[in-house]
Amino acid sequence: MMQPVAGVAPPPAPMAAQPAMDQQQWGMMAPPQPVWNQQPQPQQQQQQQQLAQYQAAQPASADEIRTLWIGDLAYWMEESYLHSCFAQTNEVVSVKVIRNKQSGQSEGYGFIEFVNRSAAERNLQAYNGTPMPNVADQTFRLNWATLSSGERRSDESSDFTIFVGDLASDVTDYTLQETFRVQYPSVKGAKVVTDRDTGRSKGYGFVRFADESEQVRAMTEMNGMFCSTRPMRIGPATNKKSMVSSKGKIIYPFIIFYIWLNFSLVGCCLSIVEFYGKWLILILIYASVCWVVIACEIS
DNA sequence: CCTGAGCGG
C-alpha cells in the first residue's frame, strides 16, 4: 500500500491547474465576502501584529465556542491542506485531522480552531457549502464543533427548533437563516438538509431559536411566507434528544421508566405479600419481565 | 428529494 505524500495536492490532481479553477469556482458560487477579504493584503509582519492586536482586543473567553467541525475529508486531506484553505485568514489557531489509532488513516473529519467565536462564524458562513480546493465536485462540510463530553455545559439546552419544508433548491443555510433573522433576532442558525452524495438540497431544513416565544411566533407567522421563490411549510421539529440506538429500535428512557415502574409495583406488593403467599413474588417478577419485553417490542 | 449526522485531546 502506497502512503500518500504529505501536502496539499491530492495524487490525481496536480497543483499546476489549480489557481484558475479556484477563481472560477469561487466566482460562480459567490460566497459571502468575509471581512478579511475586503481589506488590502498587508505584509506578513503586519498581519502578525494585527492578529496579535485583534486577539488582545477581543480575548476569547475560556468557554467560548470557537472550533468548527469539518467532515467529508478525503484521505489525503491532512493538516497542511486545511491550513492552506483557512490560514490565509490569519484567524486559525490550530487544525487537526482525526486519524484511526491503528492504521493512522484519516477518519474523514477534523477540527479547526479559530481565535474567537466571531472569526469561526465568519469562516463558517464564508466556506460552508463552497467548493474545496484541489478536488472536483466536493464542497466544504462545516459545522460548529460540539463540546467534548467533559466540558459540555449543563444549561446549554436553550434550543428551540422548527422544521421548514417546501424549500426551493437554491435556499442555503445562510439565506434560510437570514429570512428568519430579520424578524426574529434570537435566531441562532439554520440548516438545510442536503443529500450527501449529490450535495443538493433535500428541500427541507431546520431553524434554531434561542427564544422559545419567537419560535412559537415563527411557527404561525412564517408559515406560507416566501423564502426565495417558494412559500415555506413550517412545523415543529421532532426532538432528536432522546437516546436512540443506531437502528432506532430501542428508546432507553422508555425502558428505564418501565423498569422503575415494575420495581415500584413489586415493592408495594411486598407489604401485603404475607396475605397471599410468596408465590405472588414470582408472578410479579415474571410480569415485570414480560412488560419489559413488550416495551422493547413496541419501541 | 419533506424531520439531519458527522465530533478529539
The amino acid present at A23, given as its one-letter code, is Q
Return the pLDDT at A282.
74
Provide, in whole angstroms, the distance separating residue A148's CA from nucleotide B9's C1'. 9
b/e for A128-151, b at 16 or more Cβ within 10 A? bbbbbbbbeeebbbbebbeeeeee
> CA A232 → C1' B3, Å?
15
Q: What is the 3-state secondary structure (H, E, C) of A46-112?
A: HHHHHHHHHHHHCCCCCCCCCEEEEECCCCCCCHHHHHHHHHHHCCEEEEEEEECCCCCCEEEEEEE
Joined grid coordinates for residue A95: 487544525
> What was the pLDDT predicted at A109?
96
Distance A240 CA to B4 C1' (A): 9
Which stretches of chain A score pLDDT less than 50? 1-7, 12-42, 55-57, 154-155, 242-251, 290, 296
The residue to which cell 467529508 is assigned: A72
Closest nucleotide (C1' vs CA) to A237 is: B3
CA-to-C1' span, A253 to B4 (A): 22
Residue at shortest CA–C1' distance from B9: A148
| Unique residue bearing C-alpha cell 441562532 | A188
Query: What's the confidence (pLDDT) of residue A157?
Result: 54
Q: Report the alpha-carbon distance of residue A118 to residue A66 in Å, rounded.
A: 8
Beta bridge partners of A114: A92
Which nucleotide shows the minimum CA-to-C1' distance to residue A235?
B3
Nearest nucleotide to the CA of A99, by C1', is B8
Gyration radius of chain A's alpha carbons = 26
The nucleotide closest to A194 (CA, C1' atoms): B4
Q: Which residue is nearest to nucleotide B1 (CA to C1')?
A: A202
Q: What is the pLDDT of residue A207?
A: 95
Q: Give the closest residue to B4 (Cα–C1′).
A: A193
| DSSP type of residue A131 | B
Q: Which nucleotide is nearest to A113 (CA to C1')?
A: B8
Nearest nt to the CA of A201 via C1' is B1
Q: Give A96 CA → B8 C1' in Å.
A: 9
Footprint of strand B on the protein (CB under 7 A): A 67, 69, 71, 94, 96, 98, 101, 109, 111, 113, 141, 143-146, 148-149, 161, 163, 165-166, 169, 191, 193, 195-196, 198, 200-204, 206, 233, 235-238, 240
Residue-wise pLDDT for A216-255, tens only, equals 999 999 999 999 999 999 999 987 654 444 334 444 555 5
The span from the CA of A30 to the CA of A172, in Å, is 12
The gap between A148 CA and B4 C1' (Å) is: 20
